[in-house]
Amino acid sequence: MHRGSTLVLVSVWSAVPALVAQDPAPREHRLHYARPAARWTEALPVGNGRLGAMVFGGVAEERIQINEDSIWAGPPVPRHPEGARAALGEARTLLLAGKHAEAQKVVAERFMGTHEGVRSYQPFGDLRLRFVLGGEPERYARELDLDTATATTRFVAGGVTHVREVFASAPGQVLVVRLAADRPGRIEVEAELTRAAGATTGAPADDVLELAGRASHGDANPGVRFHGVLQVVAQGGAVARSGAGLRVRGADEVVLYLGVATDYHRAAPHAPLQRDLRAAARAAVLDAAALPFAELRAVQLDDHRRLFRRCTLELGAPDPRPTDARLAALRAGGADPGLAALYFHYGRYLLICASRPGDLPANLQGLWNEHLQAPWNADYHVNINLQMNYWPAGPANLPECEEPLFALVDGLRVTGRGLARDVLGCRGFAVGHTTDAWHYAALSGAPVWGMWPFGGAWCARHFYEHWRFGGDPTFLRERAWPVLRETCEFLLDWLVEDPRTGLLVSGPTTSPENTFVAPDGSRLSLSMGTAMDHQIAWDAFTNLLEAARALGVDDALVAAVAKARARLAPPRVGRDGRLLEWGEELVEAEPGHRHMSHLFALHPGRQITPSGTPALAAAAERVLAARLAQGGGHTGWSRAWLVNFCARLGQGDAAAEHLRLLLAKSTLPNLFDDHPPFQIDGNFGGTAGIAEMLVQSHADAIELLPALPQAWPAGAVRGLRARGAVTVDLGWDAARPVAVTLTPDHAGRLRLRLREDVDLERMDGGEPLPRDAGGVVEIAGEAGVPLRLRGRARTLPDTPRTGRMPR
């Protein structure tokens, strides 16, 4: 947020909170509960990007489950069989001849990479605390403060007030637990580090615990070695060994510092780091413990708030009810706009905690996992889930949090070049539908999900979007451009001419992870001309051409991309008015499928927009209606995608209803997304969807309140980002913007596409800003200088309210 961008709100603003310059915390920034967590999905997450913990808030016994982002079981990784390249060519020929079943058999038997054991992301272990208390607990409360990134438990026992705080410091690279009481000498606790398997524990000193081990699955797939050191510092009282743990007696206050080191080599995963893990973990702990606690805390708060306070959303007065009670009321049909704001802030919080520069990206569970074998290994699914994790980074003003994704893609470019060259017969790089900490790129598993080499191409758009939101020419030239070039090299070689049409088509591929019914009644998944492939190719080609213009590049590759985009098979509409998912009209085997891959062009892409391609937008709308009629959106992340689709279509009420359903049906008590089971992508997708409802900028202009629901008639948002490197502060009342501040990072023309029912004028008065026939207003912007505007109603003929914002 650009400091000094105060919004002065007009009189109709009385129902809307004022926006202030000192970057305050949002009002909805606390998850709170009246009882301890009974299971993992009720515990509260903290994290610093690398170290994470789930805090249960127990009274006599506390469990703090701990993760470190690089603790993964190891290779071997999937590899393609000999002769895979020849099998690919054979399958493509069969598909072009209409022989789907024969082609799929060739791919399944002779092409797909085989799974090589299990390589799950794994927990470090648990910190178990057992307390001696002076009585039964009263006035219990636990909370997660998103603004301080602290999980706190409070209660009274025997007349003593106990306060326990847990946070993870990114500057200090430690997990910190503080135990306090309001009477001296009343803390008595035993501490122990435990792990279900694969580790040893010990107490090498009276105030130190250690846990060391190696991630594996029994004797199979040995992976990352790790070592944790826990230092206990007590004020007053005594600390001593007690069995496998430590015991503190008669203390006034206790602080526990945990450091964890691993031998995972982030730059070269297959070459373990050669270092003393114990010494590395101990150094972090000693450095943290040497600081006065108040100083350690202040540094952690400054670091977290630098990111978290950039953006706030207000949708009404804070609700005092416990968070689980609010969820229950919503499920019962109650309205709670503030819960949507809390969910938005929680999504930003989770990304800050799970993805920091230098760390691994947020995986299927973000950072938090209690299982030695997690669902889907908590890996990186690259056919939507990993990408969805990073959808909020640009609009919600967290560009630094994308750096782990970029580092992963840079690693995948190395292995992906081998896949493209040796197996697919192409230049550039390609990635299948999954990968993990070992950076494998192979197309593995069953064809229905595995025969899809577009994971790298989808990830490439995040580099370009990062530049669109940030405007850094160095990033575009040095980071984004090489990825875009290699992506387009692969696509140019992968696409082939359809002999029936002369157009370029992709294949053989699946439309993730859907199936169709063959003429003989069998369920198949592979075809030529899958819609999503072409939409991703159009997106990659368009991004490269725009980047080339920005960088002044005009070479043979740019010319080839321009020609290929013109020949690329376009989106097609079927006889029933729906956008086709495959290159021909095929019967869906599962009409309510969770993936809606052929709507990539609507979101996150930009090939289909209501203003630019209204017929295709209408066809996309029919796809959504048909999928929902058959039970679509039944997983958390799929429902979150629906929020974004409806926002892009300007359907504010529909977007809000899908957000309500996401909270009511697919959200766990701690607000984690429920696939089921827990999968964090829905949190991030829902957060991005809320941003899309308020500000859009994908279609070459900034749109204010493009999908505002009737349930949010008044509100305020500060610190959203728009493409073109613009910070947007926005207040609205009666469903119209009343105060707008745009702060561009760079000088240039700002383009705003206004709704039909809204005019804008400068805050200091004057006539409404002139708009063109498409409702676009252009204003000159100066770098770093806030441009303050006021909205007012524009007279329109009376029209019934449809839930779609006026265009």
Distance CA 61, CA 482 (A): 53
Q: Given this model, what pLDDT does residue 806 score? A: 56
pLDDT at residue 22, as a whole number: 46
Helix (H) or strand (E) holding 388: helix 385-389
The CA-atom distances, in angstroms, between 68 and each of 40, 138, 207, 229, 710 are: 17, 34, 23, 13, 43
Helix (H/G/I), strand (E/B), else coil: 210: strand
Asked whether residue 11 carries a pLDDT value surpassing 60, the answer given is no
Between these two residues, 118 and 806, which has the higher pLDDT value? 118
Contacts of 625 (CB under 8 A, 6+ apart): none
The verdict on whether omega for the bond into residue 709 sits within 30 degrees of 0, i.e. cis, is no
Using omega within 30 degrees of 0 as the cis cutoff, is the peptide bond preceding 604 cis?
A: yes
Mean pLDDT calculated for residue range 292-304: 98
pLDDT at 6: 26
The pLDDT of residue 805 is above 90: no
C-alpha to C-alpha distance for 541 and 564, rounded to whole angstroms: 8
Model confidence over 49-59: pLDDT tens digits? 999 999 999 99
Find the Cα–Cα–Cα–Cα dihedral 451, 453, 455, 456, rounded to 10°.
170
Q: What is the pLDDT of residue 519?
A: 79
Mean pLDDT, the chain, integer: 94
**Whose CA is closest to 685, among 450, 357, 346?**
346
What pLDDT is stored for residue 4 in this prediction? Answer: 29
- Whether 798 has a pLDDT exceeding 90, the answer reads no
Q: Identify residue 634 by its one-letter amino acid code.
A: H
Report how far residue 480's alpha carbon sits from residue 478's, in angstroms, rounded to the nearest whole number: 6
Whether the bond into 508 is cis, omega within 30 of 0:
yes
**Least-confidence region, from 162-171, 385-394, 695-704, 767-776:** 767-776
Statement: residue 45 has pLDDT above 90? yes
What is the rounded CA–CA span in Å between residue 428 and residue 426?
7
796 band by pLDDT with thresholds 50, 70 and 90: low
Instruction: Read off the pLDDT band of 735 (50, 70, 90).
Output: very high
% of the chain at pLDDT higher than 70? 96
Predicted confidence (pLDDT) per residue in 676-727, tens digit: 999 999 999 999 999 999 999 999 999 999 999 999 999 999 999 999 999 9
Q: 3-class SS at 743?
A: strand
Q: Which two tokens stand for residue 354?
A: 């799970």
Q: What is the pLDDT of residues 666-679, one digit of tens each?
A: 999 999 999 999 99
Count CA atoms closer than 13 A to 578's CA, side-chain side: 21
With contact defined as beta carbons under 8 Å apart, do 429 and 418 qualify?
A: no
728, β-bridge pairs = 720, 742
Q: How far is CA 288 from the centre of its chain?
A: 30
Q: Is 780 exposed, middle or buried (0-12, 13-18, 19+ CB in 10 A)?
A: exposed
Span 108-135, average pLDDT: 93
More confident: 116 or 477: 477
- Does the pLDDT of residue 657 top 60, yes or no? yes
Q: How many helices (H) and strands (E) does the chain have?
A: 18, 35
DSSP assignment letter at 373: S
Query: Taking Cα atoms as reference points, which of 742, 734, 744, 728 lies closest to residue 692?
Result: 728
Contact 111, 41 (CB under 8 A): no
| Long-range contacts, stretch 178-182, CB < 8 angstroms, 24+ apart | 178/253, 178/254, 178/255, 178/256, 178/293, 179/129, 179/251, 179/253, 179/254, 179/255, 179/256, 180/253, 181/252, 181/253
Task: Give the tens place of pLDDT for each residue, 482-536.
Answer: 999 999 999 999 999 999 999 999 999 999 999 999 878 889 999 999 999 999 9
Classify the C-alpha dihedral 422-424-430-435 as positive or negative.
negative
Written as six digits, the tokens of 521 are 């009644």
Whether residue 1 is predicted with pLDDT greater than 80 in this model: the reply is no
Taking only Cα atoms into account, the Rg of the chain, rounded to an integer number of angstroms, comes to 27
Closest CA to 235 of 291, 158, 180: 180
Phi-psi map region of 341: left, alpha, beta (phi>0 left; psi -120 to 50 alpha): alpha
- The Cα–Cα gap between 660 and 657 comes to 5
What single-letter DSSP state applies at residue 518?
-
- pLDDT at residue 2 tops 60: no
Nearest Cα to Cα of residue 310 among 360, 344, 261: 344
Asked if 146 and 345 count as a contact pair (C-beta separation under 8 A), the reply is yes
| Partner residues linked to 113 by β-bridges | 444
606 exposure class (CB count in 10 Å sphere: 0-12, 13-18, 19+):
buried
**Would you say residue 64 has pLDDT above 80?**
yes
pTM of the model: 0.95
Answer yes or no: are the C-beta atoms of 473 and 479 closer than 8 Å: no
Q: How far apart are the two ends of the chain, measured CA to CA in Å?
A: 29
* pLDDT of amino acid 318: 87
C-alpha 680 chain-centroid distance: 7
Given a cut of 60, whether residue 7 has pLDDT beyond it is no
The length of the chain, given as a count of residues: 807
Which candidate, 358, 331, 74, 108, places its Cα nearest to that of 218? 74
What's the token pair of residue 382?
């690259």
Which one-letter amino acid corresponds to residue 154?
R
Give the SS3 label for residue 194: strand
> CA 688 to CA 694: how far, in whole Å?
10
